[in-house]
Amino acid sequence: MPSSTPITNALTIDVEDYFQVSAMAPYIDRAEWDQRECRVEHNIDRILQLLAAKQTRATFFTLGWVAERYPEMVRRIVREGHELASHGYGHQRVSDLSEAEFFDDITRAKGLLEDIGGQAVLGYRAPSFSIGAGNLWALDTLKRAGYRYSSSIYPVRHDHYGMPDAPRFAHQIRDGLLEVPPTTLRLFNRNLPSSGGGYFRLMPYSLSRWMLQQVNLRDAQSAIFYFHPWEIDPEQPRVAGIDLKTRFRHYVNIGRTEQRLSRLLDDFRWGRMDQIFLKDREQEVPVV
Range of the domain at 155: 8-277
Q: Answer yes or no: is 285 within a domain.
A: no
Interval 130-162: pLDDT, tens: 999 999 999 999 999 999 999 999 998 766 666
Q: Answer yes or no: is 1 within a domain.
A: no
Q: Answer yes or no: is 12 within a domain.
A: yes
Q: Answer yes or no: is 220 within a domain.
A: yes
Interval 238-268: pLDDT, tens: 999 999 999 999 999 999 999 999 999 999 9
> Is pLDDT of 284 > 80?
no
Instruction: Identify the helix (H) or strand (E) that includes residue 128.
Output: none
Q: Answer yes or no: is 236 within a domain.
A: yes
Q: Mark residue 257 as left, alpha or beta (left: phi above 0; alpha: psi -120 to 50; beta: remaining).
A: alpha
Number of domains in the chain: 1
Q: Answer yes or no: is 135 within a domain.
A: yes
Please tell me the pTM assigned to this model. 0.94
Give the model's confidence band at 56: pLDDT under 50 very low, under 70 low, under 90 confident, else very high. very high
**Whether 170 contacts 178, CB under 8 Å:** yes
Nearest CA to 24 out of 242, 196, 267, 197 is that of 242
**Whether 281 contacts 260, CB under 8 Å:** no
d(CA 128, CA 117): 24
Q: What is the CATH number of the domain that holds 217?
A: 3.20.20.370
Q: Answer yes or no: is 288 within a domain.
A: no
Q: Answer yes or no: is 3 within a domain.
A: no
For the chain, what is the mean pLDDT?
A: 93
d(CA 210, CA 53): 24
Rg from Cα positions in the chain: 18
